[in-house]
Amino acid sequence: MATLVFDIETTAVPVETFDEAQQEYLFRDASKFPEGPERDTRRAELARQLSLYPLTAQVVCIAMVNADSDRGQVLFLADDFEPDDEGEVKFVPFADESELLHDFWELAKRYEQIVTFNGRGFDVPFLYLRSAVLGVPISRKDWLGYRFQTEPHCDLAEQLTFYNVSGRDGAARKFNLDFYCKAFGIESPKAYGVSGMDVASLVAESRFRDIADYCLRDVRATVALHRIWRERLAGIK
Protein backbone atom coordinates (compact mmCIF):
# COMPACT_ATOMS: atom_id res chain seq x y z
CA MET A 1 0.00 0.00 0.00
CA ALA A 2 1.57 3.29 -1.13
CA THR A 3 1.66 5.73 1.80
CA LEU A 4 2.17 9.48 1.54
CA VAL A 5 3.28 11.53 4.55
CA PHE A 6 2.75 15.27 4.17
CA ASP A 7 2.57 18.58 5.98
CA ILE A 8 1.57 22.10 4.96
CA GLU A 9 2.60 25.62 5.91
CA THR A 10 0.23 28.57 5.62
CA THR A 11 0.31 32.31 6.04
CA ALA A 12 -2.37 34.99 6.20
CA VAL A 13 -3.13 37.01 3.10
CA PRO A 14 -2.84 40.80 3.55
CA VAL A 15 -5.68 42.29 5.59
CA GLU A 16 -6.15 44.86 2.83
CA THR A 17 -7.43 42.00 0.67
CA PHE A 18 -10.73 42.11 2.59
CA ASP A 19 -13.39 44.78 2.31
CA GLU A 20 -14.49 46.96 5.22
CA ALA A 21 -17.28 44.62 6.33
CA GLN A 22 -14.98 41.61 6.30
CA GLN A 23 -12.32 43.42 8.31
CA GLU A 24 -14.90 44.52 10.86
CA TYR A 25 -16.02 40.89 11.19
CA LEU A 26 -12.47 39.56 11.54
CA PHE A 27 -11.47 42.04 14.24
CA ARG A 28 -14.84 42.46 15.97
CA ASP A 29 -13.61 40.83 19.16
CA ALA A 30 -10.90 43.47 19.56
CA SER A 31 -13.50 46.26 19.43
CA LYS A 32 -14.92 45.01 22.75
CA PHE A 33 -11.91 46.58 24.45
CA PRO A 34 -11.45 50.34 24.87
CA GLU A 35 -8.90 52.00 22.62
CA GLY A 36 -5.42 51.39 23.95
CA PRO A 37 -2.84 48.64 24.51
CA GLU A 38 -5.38 45.95 25.39
CA ARG A 39 -7.30 46.44 22.14
CA ASP A 40 -4.06 46.57 20.14
CA THR A 41 -2.85 43.34 21.75
CA ARG A 42 -6.11 41.54 20.98
CA ARG A 43 -6.10 42.81 17.40
CA ALA A 44 -2.55 41.52 16.93
CA GLU A 45 -3.60 38.12 18.30
CA LEU A 46 -6.52 37.96 15.89
CA ALA A 47 -4.25 38.96 12.99
CA ARG A 48 -1.88 36.08 13.81
CA GLN A 49 -4.78 33.63 13.87
CA LEU A 50 -5.74 34.52 10.31
CA SER A 51 -3.00 32.18 9.07
CA LEU A 52 -5.05 29.24 10.42
CA TYR A 53 -8.13 29.68 8.25
CA PRO A 54 -8.40 28.82 4.55
CA LEU A 55 -10.67 31.82 3.90
CA THR A 56 -8.04 34.23 5.23
CA ALA A 57 -4.76 32.45 4.44
CA GLN A 58 -2.94 30.70 1.64
CA VAL A 59 -0.86 27.55 1.35
CA VAL A 60 2.80 28.51 0.96
CA CYS A 61 4.34 25.03 1.14
CA ILE A 62 3.43 21.34 1.00
CA ALA A 63 6.16 18.81 1.77
CA MET A 64 5.49 15.15 1.04
CA VAL A 65 7.48 11.95 1.33
CA ASN A 66 6.74 8.37 0.34
CA ALA A 67 6.87 6.49 3.66
CA ASP A 68 8.45 3.42 2.07
CA SER A 69 10.99 4.86 -0.38
CA ASP A 70 11.75 8.17 1.40
CA ARG A 71 11.46 9.88 -1.97
CA GLY A 72 9.37 12.99 -2.16
CA GLN A 73 8.70 16.53 -3.27
CA VAL A 74 8.40 19.91 -1.62
CA LEU A 75 6.03 22.26 -3.43
CA PHE A 76 6.43 25.86 -2.30
CA LEU A 77 5.61 29.43 -3.32
CA ALA A 78 8.64 31.47 -4.33
CA ASP A 79 9.61 34.41 -6.49
CA ASP A 80 12.58 33.21 -8.49
CA PHE A 81 13.85 29.79 -7.39
CA GLU A 82 14.72 27.03 -9.83
CA PRO A 83 13.71 23.41 -9.18
CA ASP A 84 16.32 21.62 -7.10
CA ASP A 85 16.96 18.03 -6.08
CA GLU A 86 18.30 17.35 -2.60
CA GLY A 87 19.02 13.65 -2.43
CA GLU A 88 15.75 11.84 -2.94
CA VAL A 89 13.58 14.93 -2.47
CA LYS A 90 12.79 17.41 -5.23
CA PHE A 91 12.08 21.06 -4.40
CA VAL A 92 9.57 22.57 -6.83
CA PRO A 93 8.82 26.34 -6.68
CA PHE A 94 5.55 27.90 -7.83
CA ALA A 95 4.57 31.48 -8.44
CA ASP A 96 0.87 30.70 -8.01
CA GLU A 97 -0.94 28.93 -5.16
CA SER A 98 -3.55 27.39 -7.46
CA GLU A 99 -0.86 25.69 -9.52
CA LEU A 100 0.80 24.39 -6.36
CA LEU A 101 -2.47 22.88 -5.14
CA HIS A 102 -3.23 21.42 -8.57
CA ASP A 103 0.10 19.61 -8.65
CA PHE A 104 -0.41 18.37 -5.08
CA TRP A 105 -3.76 16.77 -5.92
CA GLU A 106 -2.29 15.20 -9.06
CA LEU A 107 0.42 13.58 -6.93
CA ALA A 108 -1.95 12.65 -4.10
CA LYS A 109 -4.20 10.50 -6.25
CA ARG A 110 -1.35 8.01 -6.72
CA TYR A 111 -1.41 7.08 -3.02
CA GLU A 112 -3.78 4.75 -1.21
CA GLN A 113 -3.00 6.01 2.28
CA ILE A 114 -1.81 9.22 3.93
CA VAL A 115 -0.12 9.91 7.26
CA THR A 116 -0.23 13.28 8.99
CA PHE A 117 0.24 14.86 12.38
CA ASN A 118 -2.99 16.73 13.20
CA GLY A 119 -3.98 16.50 9.55
CA ARG A 120 -7.59 15.69 10.38
CA GLY A 121 -7.90 18.86 12.44
CA PHE A 122 -5.91 21.21 10.22
CA ASP A 123 -4.04 20.18 7.06
CA VAL A 124 -6.77 18.23 5.27
CA PRO A 125 -9.74 20.56 5.91
CA PHE A 126 -7.50 23.53 5.05
CA LEU A 127 -6.51 21.94 1.73
CA TYR A 128 -10.10 20.99 0.95
CA LEU A 129 -11.53 24.44 1.62
CA ARG A 130 -8.65 26.36 0.09
CA SER A 131 -8.82 24.28 -3.07
CA ALA A 132 -12.58 24.87 -3.25
CA VAL A 133 -12.12 28.64 -2.85
CA LEU A 134 -9.61 28.67 -5.72
CA GLY A 135 -11.56 26.24 -7.90
CA VAL A 136 -8.83 23.58 -7.86
CA PRO A 137 -10.16 20.03 -8.44
CA ILE A 138 -9.70 17.74 -5.41
CA SER A 139 -8.60 14.24 -6.38
CA ARG A 140 -9.08 12.61 -2.96
CA LYS A 141 -12.26 13.41 -1.04
CA ASP A 142 -12.09 10.52 1.43
CA TRP A 143 -9.47 11.76 3.89
CA LEU A 144 -12.01 12.94 6.49
CA GLY A 145 -14.06 9.77 6.56
CA TYR A 146 -14.69 7.51 9.52
CA ARG A 147 -12.57 8.89 12.34
CA PHE A 148 -11.83 5.65 14.20
CA GLN A 149 -9.71 3.98 11.56
CA THR A 150 -6.25 4.50 10.10
CA GLU A 151 -7.08 3.93 6.44
CA PRO A 152 -6.94 5.86 4.25
CA HIS A 153 -5.84 8.53 6.77
CA CYS A 154 -3.63 7.84 9.77
CA ASP A 155 -3.48 10.99 11.89
CA LEU A 156 -0.76 10.46 14.48
CA ALA A 157 -2.14 13.19 16.71
CA GLU A 158 -5.29 11.06 16.97
CA GLN A 159 -3.41 7.79 17.40
CA LEU A 160 -1.04 9.00 20.13
CA THR A 161 -3.97 10.33 22.16
CA PHE A 162 -6.05 7.21 21.42
CA TYR A 163 -8.66 9.50 19.88
CA ASN A 164 -8.52 11.94 22.79
CA VAL A 165 -9.51 9.22 25.23
CA SER A 166 -8.48 11.19 28.32
CA GLY A 167 -9.16 14.78 27.31
CA ARG A 168 -6.79 17.71 27.78
CA ASP A 169 -5.30 16.70 31.12
CA GLY A 170 -5.28 12.89 31.22
CA ALA A 171 -2.52 10.37 30.60
CA ALA A 172 -2.97 10.51 26.84
CA ARG A 173 -3.22 14.28 26.54
CA LYS A 174 -2.11 15.75 23.22
CA PHE A 175 1.41 17.17 22.85
CA ASN A 176 2.88 18.97 19.86
CA LEU A 177 5.08 17.24 17.29
CA ASP A 178 8.24 18.72 18.80
CA PHE A 179 7.46 17.19 22.21
CA TYR A 180 6.63 13.75 20.79
CA CYS A 181 9.84 13.76 18.76
CA LYS A 182 11.98 14.52 21.78
CA ALA A 183 10.17 11.92 23.88
CA PHE A 184 10.73 9.21 21.26
CA GLY A 185 14.31 10.17 20.42
CA ILE A 186 13.58 11.70 17.01
CA GLU A 187 15.35 14.86 15.87
CA SER A 188 12.87 17.70 16.30
CA PRO A 189 11.96 19.71 13.19
CA LYS A 190 12.51 22.80 15.36
CA ALA A 191 16.13 21.85 16.06
CA TYR A 192 17.36 24.37 13.48
CA GLY A 193 15.69 27.37 15.07
CA VAL A 194 12.65 27.64 12.79
CA SER A 195 9.03 26.86 13.71
CA GLY A 196 5.62 27.33 12.19
CA MET A 197 5.32 30.61 14.05
CA ASP A 198 8.12 32.00 11.87
CA VAL A 199 6.47 31.36 8.51
CA ALA A 200 4.88 34.81 8.16
CA SER A 201 8.16 36.60 8.86
CA LEU A 202 10.05 34.26 6.53
CA VAL A 203 7.58 35.04 3.74
CA ALA A 204 8.00 38.76 4.40
CA GLU A 205 11.78 38.30 4.10
CA SER A 206 11.42 36.17 0.92
CA ARG A 207 13.11 33.24 2.69
CA PHE A 208 11.04 30.71 0.78
CA ARG A 209 13.60 27.92 0.80
CA ASP A 210 13.88 28.15 4.60
CA ILE A 211 10.13 27.51 4.80
CA ALA A 212 10.46 24.56 2.43
CA ASP A 213 13.34 23.07 4.43
CA TYR A 214 11.42 23.43 7.71
CA CYS A 215 8.28 21.84 6.24
CA LEU A 216 10.33 18.90 4.98
CA ARG A 217 11.86 18.44 8.46
CA ASP A 218 8.31 18.26 9.83
CA VAL A 219 7.50 15.51 7.36
CA ARG A 220 10.67 13.52 8.02
CA ALA A 221 9.91 13.67 11.74
CA THR A 222 6.36 12.49 11.06
CA VAL A 223 7.71 9.58 8.98
CA ALA A 224 9.96 8.52 11.87
CA LEU A 225 7.16 8.90 14.42
CA HIS A 226 4.80 6.86 12.22
CA ARG A 227 7.31 4.00 12.07
CA ILE A 228 7.56 3.96 15.87
CA TRP A 229 3.77 4.06 16.22
CA ARG A 230 3.38 1.23 13.72
CA GLU A 231 5.98 -0.96 15.46
CA ARG A 232 4.96 -0.31 19.07
CA LEU A 233 1.38 0.94 19.29
CA ALA A 234 -0.63 0.09 16.17
CA GLY A 235 -3.58 -2.18 16.89
CA ILE A 236 -4.36 -0.92 20.40
CA LYS A 237 -8.12 -0.52 20.85
Q: What is the CATH number of the domain that holds 178?
A: 3.30.420.10
Backbone angles phi, psi at 139, to 5 degrees: -85, -20
* pLDDT over 80 at 69, yes or no: yes
For residue range 164-174, list pLDDT tens digits in order.
998 888 999 99
Q: Which residue has the higher pLDDT, 84 or 177?
A: 177
Considering its fold, how many domains does the chain have in total?
Answer: 1
Whether residue 126 is contained in a domain is answered as yes
Q: What percent of the chain has pLDDT over 90?
A: 83
Q: What percent of the chain has pLDDT over 70?
A: 99
Contacts 24+ apart (CB under 8 A), 177-186: 177/117, 177/118, 177/218, 177/221, 177/222, 177/225, 180/156, 180/225, 181/221, 181/224, 181/225, 184/224, 184/225, 184/228, 186/221, 186/224, 186/225, 186/228
Mean pLDDT, to the nearest integer, of 27-36? Answer: 90
Q: Which domain holds residue 91?
A: 3-232
Whether residue 191 is contained in a domain is answered as yes
187 DSSP assignment = P
Residue 79 pLDDT level (bands cut at 50, 70, 90)? confident
Q: How far is CA 206 from CA 64, 76, 183, 201, 209, in A?
A: 22, 12, 33, 9, 9
Mean pLDDT, to the nearest integer, of 67-94? Answer: 88
28 DSSP assignment = G
Confidence (pTM): 0.94
**Helix axes 97-108 and 124-134, enclosed angle (nearest 10):** 120
Q: Which residue has the higher pLDDT, 84 or 209?
A: 209
Whether residue 237 is contained in a domain is answered as no
Question: Residue 139: its pLDDT value, please?
Answer: 98
For residue range 109-121, list pLDDT tens digits in order.
999 999 999 999 9
Give the pairing type, strands 84-86 and 89-94.
antiparallel
Residue 196 pLDDT level (bands cut at 50, 70, 90)? confident
The three-state secondary structure class of 191 is: coil
Q: Which residue has the higher pLDDT, 192 or 215?
A: 215
